[in-house]
Structure 1
Amino acid sequence: MCETDHLDSSGVSRRDMLALLGAAGASLAVAPVLTADPAMAAASDLALDPATQPADPVNYEPPANLAVDSQAKDAAIAWIDRNSEGIVGLNDRIWEFAEPSLAEWNSSWAEAQYLKANGFTIEWGAGGMPTAFVATFSNGTGKPVIGFSGEYDALPGLSQEKGNPRHSPLVYNHDPYAPTYGFGHGCGHNALGAAAAGAAAATAAAMRARNLDGTIKFFGSTAEEQLVGKSVAVKAGVYRGLDAFVDWHPSSGNSTSWGSSNAMYSYSFHFLGTDGHGGAPLATRATQDAVSAMSMLTEYLRESHQAHTARVHYAIRQTGQAPNVFPTLSSIWYFAREGSPTRAKILMDRIVRCAEAAAMATGTRMQHRMMAGVWNTLGNKRGAELMHANMTQIGAPTFSAADHGFGRELQRSNGAEETGFSEKISPLTPPAAVFMGGGSTDVADISWQVPTISMGTAHQPAGTKNHSWHHTATAAAHSGHVATVIAAKYLAATTVDLLTQPTVVAEMKEEFHRRTSKIKWKSLLPDNYELPLYEPPKWFLERTGQKWPPRGVKWPPRRVVSTETAPDLGPALPPQNLPPLE
């Protein structure tokens, strides 16, 4: 077992005990649990230096002097003001494209072209993924090296008219048996990528104008919604050589923190069976029954096999298309989230056993494949303090009366309190003493390579859900534009401070090394991991100068095809003279 370096031989130091006793709602069991799990311990405040990094959840006050006024910062913010239409235009173009994970052909091209026009060089195919790229701008000595994150994938079923507070899908696919909605930016990745690109371009402009040393690396990342892009690129070494990494995500508030997230495993399961007819179902290996049985079995895990930090959720991706046709192939896709990779793997292993049991019970054959695996996030307290200082210095976004009216209508449609959009900077507070679980991100794998700062802006009104049509509605509306532009300012201002304050960068690195000194990061992706790729259109390959397939990728991929035979039901029954079935 790996231990944190401030534990004494008794297991818990005096400082740990005092901190836990003083934490509101904390349990004395917290420290032993955390130190028994190195990944959770490294991400907790127990890993901070007690002398220089106090984390008192009651009396903590963030430093007020980290954000430094400078001509370079003023130049970056002024650049964003002058070029806000271009940032908003990029935001809206990506929103219109609304492309799925791993197939963001137009979206990634638009983002890369924007950066190229602002002085960045572009390298395509990062980590072997066609829509991933690295854009680089360097000046002077080229040090320090600061990374930005850009995402641009949309979500299925979340198409929605922009600025419409009532559910009205922009893309509605008519089918009298099963109508569907198109893809939509219900997570705001169009804004995420546009604001980050605008901030990167603004910082580069300030570096040229004020002759600042440094390098900006912008990582265009595919498939965040499937938690594939960054974890694959990290394993391939794409993020090596950075001094700090700056990230943001659309949110319902204006805030930053150094809290953690859940680690996650993503697996797809395929059940293979035999043909059958709804009117004569005997002797059929029913794959639809298999996915139904698996989903039922995994629901039973919730009672006795899931801690408060755990999350299990799934989507049946392929099964029967007509009541009188038994599908020979049915597929179901699972996420298993927990506070650390070890705990997430235990949970996913239980899900695999449920799949095996479902296959055994239905007489089908099961295949499963790992689609993604990410760590829990490693926060950085000093980095969060720097970001919070800049957010406070710049101020909160200001929304118009029409924006607030739109926000209140969205809240009304969701049954939430009608408050409109947030116009305040949330206080910076230490993470909860007891980690309660939640979402996951592939930014987490980056955070174990380099000190990482994350923040969010009020891109949607409180009380509306992320991954919803409500968020799609705001993502290209005026309110979304306001949040996107202010996010670009927060990112650029913080990055200028990273370029001009080596002491702060050194403190971030010291904290990072302290957190990671007793644990070694290793990618959760196995060496034989198969990239879940789609073949790019010819025009995309020609524009980006890529060849297909990428090195090390076999194409076309191995097909998943049933070769099962009907089960033995014993001696045949007497023949029946019945009319043909339809």
Structure 2
Amino acid sequence: MCDLHDQHEHAHEAAMAAGPVLSRRRIMQMLGAAGVTTAVMAADADPAMAAASEAADAATDDGYEAPKGLAQDGPAKQAALGWIDGNSGRITGLNAEIWDHAELSLREWNSSLAEAGFLEKAGFDVEFGTAGFPTAFTATFRHGSGGPVLGFSGEYDALPGLSQNKGVGHHNPREYIHDPFAPGYGPGHGCGHSALGTAAAAAAAAVAQTAKKHRLPVTVKFFGSTAEEALIGKTYAVSKGVYDGLDAFLDWHPSTANATGWGTTTAMTAVTFTFLGVAGHGGTPLGNKSALDAAVMMATMSEFLREENLAPSGRLHWVINNGGDIPNVTPEIAEISYYVREGSPARVKVLLDKVIAVSEAAAKASQTTVGHRITSACWNQLPSKSFAELLHENMTQIGPPAFTDEAHALAKELQESLGLPAAGMHDKVGALTPPNPVFMGGGSTDVADISWNVPTVSMGAALAPIGTKMHTWSTAACAAAAPGQAAVLAAAKYLASTAVDLLTQPERLKAIKAEFAERTKGLEWKTALPEGYEPPMYEPPAWFLKKTGQKWPPNNITWPPKRVVSHEKFSSLGPELTPQK
């Protein structure tokens, strides 16, 4: 998520699984199989995975009970929660507005402006063009001096093909694209980022207003992030120092449950392969070189990696995003994009090299040429046990989202439409449990790169019905309807109350930072993006540049980008055959 990126699950969703959790030691004793032992021990050999799993080992070996007494009520916290209640109409209205725009990654022109405007009204100074991305912005609020610097994460990009009418319990695209040869659907918020960015902005604003009212020194920084679904915005921004100087970072994501935890995520590299051949008439194909043949061969061969080269912690998925237009023209250019995921950047690299080798074999077999470009790359997330414990107690004290009968009715209608049990919305706060000691893979997030540079916590609030998935039209149906609007307000309260605890209880922040220092001891984060990487961008409309005070192009990209043009020659069939006499 996420994503063009996957089911877009964050570390908090690992906490949704119920039942006992065994220690690594116990699993090895019980199973002892070479494959399982290798997977379990891999963390010990991989510094990135070891740092992410350290706290899980202690908790599962010793038994775990969530501590109490961390989250403290008081006038400041009540002021933050009261601000959210008092501005609930503006908050849910912002969610609905961004949902309506449903803008794709790197092109969130109206969505970013709406979110930035909300924060400006709350007293934040806004600057667009963070890390060179036109639709990324940084909003800053300062009160007093010497206080902590707290960061909030806002996303607002939609996903292609997931258009759905709001609050409708069966598949009913809001935007249907008529094409007699290739019908489709418009974009939609099938990952709930309209709600994600809104709740984070509301939390940041609530903390700012509370700090001002109760004279609490703080700097609140809100990062409006572009292209999370492609995992581009934050990974590059982190490498440019955008998140330097923060003391803590608070993150959330729409989910099917209300939960937090300290599990990790998968590291990921996104890569696009471009095959170049020679076009020609389909009726006289001899000598043509089909780039689509090459892409299909690559897709087929990469599937054979699964049995012997893809561990349970890995994921490999692809889409042919350019395969030609009409059967009667041999495709001269074809592109296939992969998301390569594993438990750490080092393991991603091993799997990625095998995928690249497959592309070279497909090019050789099809007599085409191939090149590849990495569009994004992120680490696995470094979780924070102490941060998750504080957030979880705040979630427990506030309670689950206030789902109405309308929200449950929509959820049940969607579940019935999808062939799932009609269980409605998750109306509890999940127990805080250690992550599974054997990492079995999952989603990826560009928040992960932030987590290696500043203590970070993530949580989920139920926006989609139990049993459904992110990156679906059913999530889009809920995101700005009754379920999503309840989730927005609850998520804003969870984040804001936890942030207030960091202000009123300095010892909590001190403990979180101490855990972070211990986990990262001897391990240096380095971006997984390749040397010389230039992020992909779209040229903004002139009105957007004028409104945000930006110039085009930014100085970190080459514009116009290099054209991709085939210069291949027709394939030879050998000497002409001598006519028979």
TM range (shorter): over 0.9
**Corresponding residue for 1:140?**
144
Q: Is the 8 A contact 2:56 2:437 kept in 1?
A: no
**Corresponding residue for 1:189?**
193
Map Cα deviations across residues 491-541 of structure 1 (whole Å, 9 max, x no partner). Answer: 100010111111111111111111111311100112310210100000111
The sequence identity of aligned pairs, in percent, is 54
**Corresponding residue for 1:323?**
327
Task: Please show how residues 378-397 of structure 1 align to structure 2 within 5 Å.
Answer: 378-397=382-401
Q: Is the 8 A contact 1:47 1:515 kept in 2?
A: no
**Corresponding residue for 1:403?**
407
Map Cα deviations across residues 413-443 of structure 1 (whole Å, 9 max, x no partner). Answer: 1111110001100000011111110010000
**Corresponding residue for 2:285?**
281
Task: Please show how residues 400-479 of structure 1 align to structure 2 within 5 Å.
Answer: 400-479=404-483
**Corresponding residue for 1:39?**
48
Which of 545, 556, 559 is residue 541 of structure 1 equivalent to? 545
**Corresponding residue for 1:112?**
116
- CA change 1:309–1:29 in 2 (3 A) is closer
What is the alpha-carbon distance in structure 1 between the residues aligned to residue 248 and residue 28 of structure 2? Answer: 30
- CA change 1:209–1:519 in 2 (3 A) is same
Q: Is the 8 A contact 2:159 2:191 kept in 1?
A: yes
Q: Is the 8 A contact 1:57 1:429 kept in 2?
A: no
Q: Is the 8 A contact 2:425 2:462 kept in 1?
A: yes
**Corresponding residue for 1:205?**
209
Secondary structure at the aligned position of 2:89 is classed as helix
What is the alpha-carbon distance in structure 2 between the residues aligned to residue 246 and residue 47 of structure 1? Answer: 21
- CA change 1:484–1:46 in 2 (3 A) is closer
**Corresponding residue for 1:13?**
none
**Corresponding residue for 2:159?**
155
Residue 21 (structure 1) shift: 2.8
What is the alpha-carbon distance in structure 2 between the residues aligned to residue 573 and residue 64 of structure 1? Answer: 87
1:123 corresponds to 2:127:
yes
What is the alpha-carbon distance in structure 1 between the residues aligned to residue 556 and residue 454 of structure 2? Answer: 27
**Corresponding residue for 1:365?**
369
Q: Is the 8 A contact 2:292 2:334 kept in 1?
A: yes
Aligned residue type for 1:422:
H
Q: Is the 8 A contact 1:45 1:55 kept in 2?
A: no
Aligned length: 554
Map Cα deviations across residues 252-306 of structure 1 (whole Å, 9 max, x no partner). Answer: 0000001000000010111111012221111011011011001001100001110
Mean Cα displacement is larger for which, 546-555 or 158-167?
546-555
Residue 362 (structure 1) shift: 0.5
Which of 14, 21, 29 is residue 26 of structure 2 equivalent to? 21
- CA change 1:18–1:552 in 2 (3 A) is closer
- CA change 1:310–1:216 in 2 (3 A) is same
Unpaired segments ≥5 residues, structure 2: 1-21
Residue 337 (structure 1) shift: 0.2
TM-score between both structures, scaled by the size of structure 1 = 0.93
TM-score between both structures, scaled by the size of structure 2 = 0.93
1:336 corresponds to 2:340:
yes
Higher RCO structure, 1 or 2 (CA under 8 Å, sep 6+): 2
Secondary structure at the aligned position of 1:326 is classed as coil
Task: Please show how residues 19-98 of structure 1 align to structure 2 within 5 Å.
Answer: 20-21=25-26, 32-45=41-54, 54-56=58-60, 59-98=63-102
Aligned residue type for 1:284:
N
What is the alpha-carbon distance in structure 2 between the residues aligned to residue 174 and residue 57 of structure 1? Answer: 58
Aligned residue type for 1:371:
T
What is the alpha-carbon distance in structure 2 between the residues aligned to residue 292 and residue 462 of structure 1? Answer: 36
Instruction: State the superposition RMSD in angstroms.
Output: 1.7
What is the alpha-carbon distance in structure 2 between the residues aligned to residue 458 and residue 44 of structure 1? Answer: 26
What is the alpha-carbon distance in structure 2 between the residues aligned to residue 172 and residue 23 of structure 1? Answer: 52
What is the alpha-carbon distance in structure 1 between the residues aligned to residue 514 and residue 203 of structure 2? Answer: 26
- CA change 1:19–1:559 in 2 (3 A) is closer
Task: Please show how residues 542-557 of structure 1 align to structure 2 within 5 Å.
Answer: 542-557=546-561
Mean Cα displacement is larger for which, 285-294 or 497-506?
497-506
Aligned residue type for 2:96:
D
Map Cα deviations across residues 78-117 of structure 1 (whole Å, 9 max, x no partner). Answer: 0000101111111011111111101111111111111011
Unpaired segments ≥5 residues, structure 1: 1-16, 49-53, 576-582
**Corresponding residue for 2:3?**
none
What is the alpha-carbon distance in structure 1 between the residues aligned to residue 398 and residue 134 of structure 2? Answer: 37
